[in-house]
Amino acid sequence: MKALQLILRRCGLLLVVLFIVSVLTFGIVNVLPGDVANAILGDLGTPQQVEALRRSMGLDLPLLQRYESWIVALLHGDFGQSLQFGLPIAPMLFGRLANSAVLGAITLLIAVPVSVLLGVIAGVHEGRLADRVISGFAVVAFSLPEYVIGLLLILVFSIWFPLLPGSSLMDPGANPLARPATLVLPVAVLALGMLAYLSQITRAGMITAMQSAYVRTAVLKGLPGWVVVLKHALPNMLLPTISEIGMNFGYVLGGIVIVETLFSYAGIGQMMVNAVDHRDIPVVEAAVLVVAVAYGVGNLLADAASILLNPRLRS
Amino acid sequence: MRIQWDNAAAGGFLILVLVAILLGPSLAPFSPVEFDPVHALLPPNFTYLFGTDEFGRDVFSRVLCGARPTLLLALASAITGVVLGTTTGLVAGYAGGVVDEALMRIMDALMSFPALILAMLVVVMLGADPVNVVFALGIVFWPRSARLVRSVVVDLARREFIEAARSRGEAWPYILARELLPNVRMFIVVDFSLRTTYAILLSASLAYLGIGVAPPTPAWGLMVRDGQQFLEIAPWLVIFPCLAVALTAIGTMLVGERLRRSAALPGTERSR
Amino acid sequence: MHDTGPNGVSRRHLLAAAGGAALLGATAGRATAAGPPRHGGTFRMAYSAAPDTLDPQATLNISTQQASSMLFDNLTALDEHNQALPSLAVKWTPEKHAQEWVLDLREGVKFHHGTPFTAEDVVATVERAYDKTMALNATGAFGPVEAVRAEGTHRVRLVLSQPFGELPITLANRWARIVAKDRIDTLKTAPSGTGPFQLTDFQPGASMTLKRFPGYWMKDRPYLDSIRLLVIREAVAQQAALRSGDVDFVSSISAETYLALRAARGIHTHSTGTGVYQPIMLQANLAPFDKPKVREAFRYLIDRKALLASALFGQGKIGNDVTLPPGNIYLSPLSANEQDLPRAKRLLAEAGVGPLTLDFWCSGERPPQPKAALAMKDAAAKIGVTINVRDIPYTEYVANVARRKPLYAANWSGSPTLYESLYLVFHSKARLNYSATETSPGLDRLLENIIAEVDLAKRKQFVTEALAKIHEHSDRVIPYFMNYMGATSDKVQGFVPPQFDMVDVRSIWLSA
């Protein structure tokens, strides 16, 4: 039962991490130049108006007091109200979270198997043509910022050859899957970035595995190549790859910020950028926390998987 | 990446980068900032190899002169992140216990922010200035480097030579600096080369969101951002700085790969 | 005596009698080009910034103001000459030399939630707008109001703090929307107006959906069944969306996008002169611009023609440091402030300021501000003035730059009234005078005369005198006026490019 203990401990630590995240976010957003009163009134607002608005939103209260009332409400399950919109945060947050989750899940579903496949092929054929093509592609895809890839894809597939929509506008109440065509380009951008380096991780793992004693023994036993790869090499390099995928979760979430902004995708990344722009503290807090939870849980799952898969830790 | 020509490529690239950083401005045929409205938005030709922008500035000169601000910023960010991370990793890994736990949870917290959002928050907080961008990227890299170094140090700290140093009565700063640090050196160097690549990409993404830019500095990310409006009518404004970003990123990756192989390090952590 | 503008009383009464039918007269001609207007369809409009509030009195960005213009009505509307037309008010009569105004309201108008529109709603609207504790951008939207009273169910009296001839025009502005008294508490969540469309869905930061209000007071309008207001931030994505038919209209686009779309098939591009300008603010209460000669010197730095060409690709007009755009009826000939570096250098020497080094604050969120900043930097360097361009986020600009730093770029909407375009910006006590300074002796007095004067010839004389002072000494360089640029797909009919940012969707219909 050591495994269970370990996993429970991780859960507890996640809560500690979330607390630190919330404090950091609150602190940083509060010292950003300008506040939500400035954002609402713009440069038309007189200093007196800004003061009045600040008071009416309780922004004149001490920092600690505001944090306290925010976190107490949160512990009661209340995300509070957006200062910018004057509307409750929970409905918009979860709607957008769901949209982002769809985007992220499809990306993972496509990128993970494809990159494992490519990585295995490259690893097995190390140094040969297949490897060079795959690795070369990975390096190029990896070294372009997401927004550049996105802009180029829009230019090619939406303007020069108008095949796919260049923005992922959603009808009210509809889910992003209602118009799958709108998902193609954003997913492509995210998946390319992931592919680029997950395939390289797999490749490195594969090369190490192929050089290990048990694989060599298997080869010496005269087993066919694909059996060696599938039965001996692959299972042994899955572990590091899985934990990499866990870490990647954070990367997918980061890429989402740019992709959602670029494709007008109503997800949590777009919401976060907008909330930072408007200094909407409760919304920034809520969005960052939700992302941190997603990241934490992603890592937790990856850790749990490696704990359960690792015989040394299991016993 | 076991590609035969990567030694040559990495070496050639390093020379190219050095030349661009040191001599870029003096090699540029035109001023990267002065206006020349008569020659606005010209497509690439023999006078203006990469064409001109809407103010008539030579894109080739701007790309050349952009090497210095872009690369110095990337190197400085990588150094900041790696120094912060190495220190934290050394202390956490060596001290263990509560210190380790506390430091690593803070690192976890920093990791839970999407990298771009964290960088954005820090730059907006401190003000748009290259130094602050360096600091922000340093903070983004910090937990990632710290994790890496710690994972190596945890292992090393149980080895005999550390025990020996401790029984000699060495102070812990000495052990960290003289005993542990040399042993993680290669990991740090490889990590550093990767961070440099990410810094180039991340600072370009920041510029795209309009964060931390200081016109008229011809930084590549900023050039892409300003040029994207013209993507259809003057694509050369975007293509050439993009190429510069991509080539540099590829180059630093190759160098990193080369270093990794010479150090015979297995799959080092490469998360962003 | 009761003149509200150059077209005189008779025209106004004529229009008042014609009622709402005349309101759309200006746009009718266009519609017939493609046959009789067709009812139905969804009009999808894309903006680069999200509608961020449903409260019509708190709006800031253009997409939000567009939304409020569709959900709500004003007391008056504007014709193509920027004179007042009836809307919710059918008649307006000045009393006591225009220090009090009596408004007769339209009968039979209903709010979206079914209650009839009465004088009480107007009273509640104005009182809310002027409530200091609310801190709304609508403060001042109805002019210098001191009190508002209902006189019967469909008559309202506005008592002003000073004579104010332009009141009927002011009532048409973007913050003077009329809200329902019994729905004032839910303005942020469930707004109810008398406008042609009612809200069906609001996704904060992403989109807004409206449907036709069947009880709209104007018969047969609107033509459209519903409207989607969408956000597409990236210029390239805007182009792609319009081309692929994902949206029918992209509004307030950049000059670059305009150029790219102009060549596209199946798309109409629109570009019209407006009063929108981006002043380079020379904060008159801060050094070095507290010296009038320094302010004057900065007028001769920029090559305005070249800037207009490179920043706006000619889609605008050269500005001459007065807030009225070229073509305005009050404009009298003034010498052109243009690049003259020796003169600028001489003025700086005369002012006795040493070698200057200044930060120029601008925001890439308000294009093409950074380009104007670069142009000034480029020119200033030639006479030994060092300018560092600082590109910052808009919110930071609001908090730390506007009214606080010596040199920065702002963004100013056009306005049909002298009250908004002159008085509010230049009177030393006015809300929008960022320098809080009388930049030229006697200017305050002139401005007071301008808004109080009801005789057109006399008013024009005051304006001429005021503009001469502003032209030379004001706290702003106005290098250009920006065109409104937008693009519609071929099936959009009856679209008129707006003078003041808001598109009148009532005249728009979609061909099959």
Using alpha carbons, select from B70, B158, B142, B75 the residue that is nearest to residue B103: B142
pLDDT at residue C494, rounded to an integer:
92
Strand residue runs (E) in C215-339: 226-231, 249-250, 267-277, 280-282, 316-318
Supply B16's token pair. Answer: 């190219």
> Min CA distance, B35 vs chain C (Å)?
7
Listed ranges A132-146, C295-309, C447-461; the one with the highest mean pLDDT: C295-309
> Min CA distance, B254 vs chain A (Å)?
9
Which residues have a Cβ under 8 Å from the Cβ of A87 and sit 6 or more positions away?
A81, C188, C189, C204
**Which chains neighbour A (Cβ–Cβ under 8 Å, 3 or more pairs)?**
B, C
Using alpha carbons, select from A150, A148, A125, A149 the residue that is nearest to residue A135: A125
Instruction: Write the residue in A17, A131, A200 that is nearest to B108 by C-beta.
Output: A17
User: Under an 8 A CB cutoff, do C389 and B40 touch?
Assistant: no
* Arithmetic mean of pLDDT, C309-332: 91
- CB contacts of A145 in chain B (<8 Å) are 201, 204-205, 208, 221, 224, 245
Q: What pLDDT band is residue A250 in, cutting at 50, 70 and 90?
A: low
Instruction: Write the residue in B37, B54, B213 that is nearest to C391 by C-beta.
Output: B213
Which residues have a Cβ under 8 Å from the Cβ of A78 and sit 6 or more positions away?
A90
pLDDT above 80: residue C42: yes
Instruction: Write the residue in A135, A148, A205 that is nearest to B1 by C-beta.
Output: A135
pLDDT above 80: residue C41: yes
Listed ranges B142-156, B184-198, C488-502; the one with the highest mean pLDDT: C488-502
* Chain C, nearest residue to A179 by Cα: C246
Which one has a higher pLDDT value, A173 or C73? C73
User: Under an 8 A CB cutoff, do C205 and A92 touch?
Assistant: yes
Sheet holding C100-105, edge to edge: C89-95, C100-105, C155-160, C145-150
* Chain C, nearest residue to A85 by Cα: C53
User: Under an 8 A CB cutoff, do C243 and A85 touch?
Assistant: no
pLDDT at residue C11, rounded to an integer:
37
Q: Which residues in chain A (44-103) have CB-CB distances under 8 A to chain B?
A: none
Instruction: Give the residues across from C74 on adjacent strands.
Output: C177
State the Cα torsion C504-C506-C511-C512 to the nearest 10°: 130
Q: What pLDDT band is residue C421 in, cutting at 50, 70 and 90?
A: very high
Q: Report the distance separating Cα A93 and Cα A290, nearest Å.
A: 9
Looking at the complex, does the CB of residue C474 fall below 8 Å from at least one CB of chain B? no
- CB contacts of B114 in chain A (<8 Å) are 250, 253-254, 256-257, 269, 272, 291
pLDDT above 60: residue C498: yes
User: Under an 8 A CB cutoff, do A35 and C399 touch?
Assistant: yes
User: Under an 8 A CB cutoff, do C392 and B128 touch?
Assistant: yes
The DSSP output letter for B143 is H
**Least-confidence region, from B249-253, C110-114, C228-232:** B249-253
Helices A281-309 and A234-262, interaxial angle, to 10°?
170
Tell me what the pLDDT averaged over chain A comes to. Answer: 84
Q: Report the distance separating Cα C140 and Cα C160, nearest Å.
A: 11
Which residues have a Cβ under 8 Å from the Cβ of A9 and sit 6 or more positions away?
none
Q: What pLDDT band is residue C304 in, cutting at 50, 70 and 90?
A: very high
Compute CA distances C373 → A133, A230, B31, B120, C280, whole Å: 46, 62, 18, 24, 8
Tens-place pLDDT, residues A262-294: 898 888 988 998 898 889 999 999 999 998 888
**Least-confidence region, from B246-255, C142-151, C324-333, C408-417:** B246-255
Using alpha carbons, select from A25, A4, A26, A196 the residue that is nearest to residue A118: A196
Helices A89-124 and A181-211, interaxial angle, to 10°?
40
User: Under an 8 A CB cutoff, do B55 and C310 touch?
Assistant: yes
* Chain B, nearest residue to A29 by Cα: B121
pLDDT at residue A184, rounded to an integer:
93
Quick one: C92 exposed, middle or buried, by C-beta within 10 A (0-12, 13-18, 19+)? Answer: buried
pLDDT above 60: residue C181: yes
Task: Please check whether residue A155 is in contact with residue A264, taking contact to mean a CB–CB distance below 8 angstroms.
Answer: no
* Arithmetic mean of pLDDT, B182-202: 83
Tens-place pLDDT, residues C114-137: 999 999 999 999 999 999 888 899
Looking at the complex, does the CB of residue C372 fall below 8 Å from at least one CB of chain B? no
User: Under an 8 A CB cutoff, do C311 and B232 touch?
Assistant: no
User: Under an 8 A CB cutoff, do B120 and A273 touch?
Assistant: yes
Using alpha carbons, select from C302, C406, C296, C388 the residue that is nearest to residue C349: C296
* Arithmetic mean of pLDDT, B45-72: 88
User: Under an 8 A CB cutoff, do C52 and A84 touch?
Assistant: yes
Instruction: Write the residue in A33, A95, A155 that is nearest to C399 by C-beta.
Output: A33
pLDDT above 60: residue C197: yes
User: Under an 8 A CB cutoff, do C240 and A167 touch?
Assistant: yes
CB neighbour burial string for C370-381, b if at least 16 within 10 angstroms, e if fewer: bbbbbbbbbbbe
Question: How many angstroms from the chain centroid is the CA of residue A224?
Answer: 39
**Which chains neighbour B (Cβ–Cβ under 8 Å, 3 or more pairs)?**
A, C
Q: What pLDDT band is residue B180 in, cutting at 50, 70 and 90?
A: confident
* Arithmetic mean of pLDDT, A55-64: 90
Share of chain C above pLDDT 90, in %: 68
Which residues have a Cβ under 8 Å from the Cβ of B90 and sit 6 or more positions away?
B149, B150, B153, B176, B180, B181, B184
Q: Which amino acid, one-letter code, is at C349?
A: A
User: Under an 8 A CB cutoff, do A139 and B242 touch?
Assistant: no
- CB contacts of C236 in chain B (<8 Å) are 228-229, 231-232
Q: If you count residue pairs, one on A and one on C, with CB atoms under 8 Å apart, how many are there?
A: 158
* Chain B, nearest residue to A156 by Cα: B232
**Least-confidence region, from B12-16, C101-105, C347-351:** B12-16
Q: What pLDDT band is residue A151 in, cutting at 50, 70 and 90?
A: confident
pLDDT at residue C23, rounded to an integer:
43
- Peptide bond before residue C368 is cis, with ω within 30 degrees of 0: yes
Which one has a higher pLDDT value, C365 or C11? C365
* Arithmetic mean of pLDDT, B85-107: 91
User: Under an 8 A CB cutoff, do C365 and B210 touch?
Assistant: yes
pLDDT at residue B4, rounded to an integer:
52
pLDDT at residue A251, rounded to an integer:
64
**Distance separating the N- and C-terminal Cα atoms of chain C:** 50
Q: What pLDDT band is residue A302 in, cutting at 50, 70 and 90?
A: confident
Q: If you count residue pairs, one on A and one on B, with CB atoms under 8 Å apart, how many are there?
A: 149
Share of chain B above pLDDT 90, in %: 17
- ipTM greater than cut 0.90: no
**Which chains neighbour C (Cβ–Cβ under 8 Å, 3 or more pairs)?**
A, B
* Chain C, nearest residue to A95 by Cα: C203
- CB contacts of B117 in chain A (<8 Å) are 254, 257, 272-273, 276, 288
Instruction: Write the residue in A140, A201, A272 that is nearest to B267 by C-beta.
Output: A201
pLDDT at residue C346, rounded to an integer:
94
Using alpha carbons, select from C140, C117, C113, C136 the residue that is nearest to residue C64: C136
* Arithmetic mean of pLDDT, A36-51: 89
Q: Which helix (H) or strand (E) holds C150?
A: strand C145-150
Q: Report the distance separating Cα A34 and Cα C393, nearest Å.
A: 10
Which residue in A32, A143, A203, A272 has the most chain B C-beta atoms within 10 A of its own C-beta, making it the best mutation to test that interface?
Answer: A143
User: Under an 8 A CB cutoff, do C374 and B55 touch?
Assistant: yes
Tell me what the pLDDT averaged over chain B comes to. Answer: 82
Q: Which helix (H) or strand (E) holds B114?
A: none
Looking at the complex, does the CB of residue A213 fall below 8 Å from at least one CB of chain B? no
Instruction: Write the residue in A13, A16, A151 that is nearest to B228 by C-beta.
Output: A151
Which one has a higher pLDDT value, B270 or A284? A284
pLDDT above 70: residue A310: no
Share of chain C above pLDDT 70, in %: 93
What is the pairing mode between strands C357-362 and C386-391?
Answer: parallel
Tens-place pLDDT, residues B226-236: 888 888 788 88
* Arithmetic mean of pLDDT, C319-348: 92
Tens-place pLDDT, residues C384-406: 999 988 888 888 899 999 999 99
CB neighbour burial string for B209-219, b if at least 16 within 10 angstroms, e if fewer: bbbbbbbbbbb
Instruction: Give the residues across from C281 on adjacent strands.
Output: C408, C476
* Chain B, nearest residue to A139 by Cα: B250
> Min CA distance, B229 vs chain C (Å)?
6
pLDDT above 50: residue B241: yes
User: Under an 8 A CB cutoff, do C207 and A37 touch?
Assistant: no
Q: Report the distance separating Cα A238 and Cα A242, nearest Å.
A: 6
pLDDT at residue C33, rounded to an integer:
55
Instruction: Write the residue in A43, A52, A274 that is nearest to C133 by C-beta.
Output: A52
Q: What pLDDT band is residue C16 in, cutting at 50, 70 and 90?
A: very low
Instruction: Write the residue in B213, B215, B229 that is nearest to C374 by C-beta.
Output: B215
Q: Report the distance separating Cα C415 and Cα A199, nearest Å.
A: 58
User: Under an 8 A CB cutoff, do C375 and B213 touch?
Assistant: no
Q: What pLDDT band is residue C34 in, cutting at 50, 70 and 90?
A: low
Q: Report the distance separating Cα C218 and Cα C249, nearest Å.
A: 24
Phi, psi torsion values for A231, nearest 5 degrees = -90, -30
Helices B236-262 and B220-227, interaxial angle, to 10°?
150
User: Under an 8 A CB cutoff, do A43 and C398 touch?
Assistant: yes
Q: What pLDDT band is residue A311 in, cutting at 50, 70 and 90?
A: low
The DSSP output letter for C106 is P
Using alpha carbons, select from A190, A253, A6 the residue that is nearest to residue B112: A253
> What is the SS3 assignment for C148?
strand
pLDDT above 80: residue C166: yes
> Min CA distance, C61 vs chain A (Å)?
9
Instruction: Write the residue in C259, C391, C396 that is nearest to B215 by C-beta.
Output: C391
The DSSP output letter for B42 is P
Tell me what the pLDDT averaged over chain C comes to. Answer: 89
Tens-place pLDDT, residues C235-268: 888 888 998 888 999 999 988 889 889 988 899 9
pLDDT above 90: residue C214: yes
> Min CA distance, B171 vs chain A (Å)?
31
Task: Please check whether residue B110 is in contact with residue B143, taking contact to mean a CB–CB distance below 8 angstroms.
Answer: yes
pLDDT above 90: residue C488: yes
Instruction: Write the residue in B211, B216, B229 that is nearest to C235 by C-beta.
Output: B229
pLDDT above 70: residue C25: no
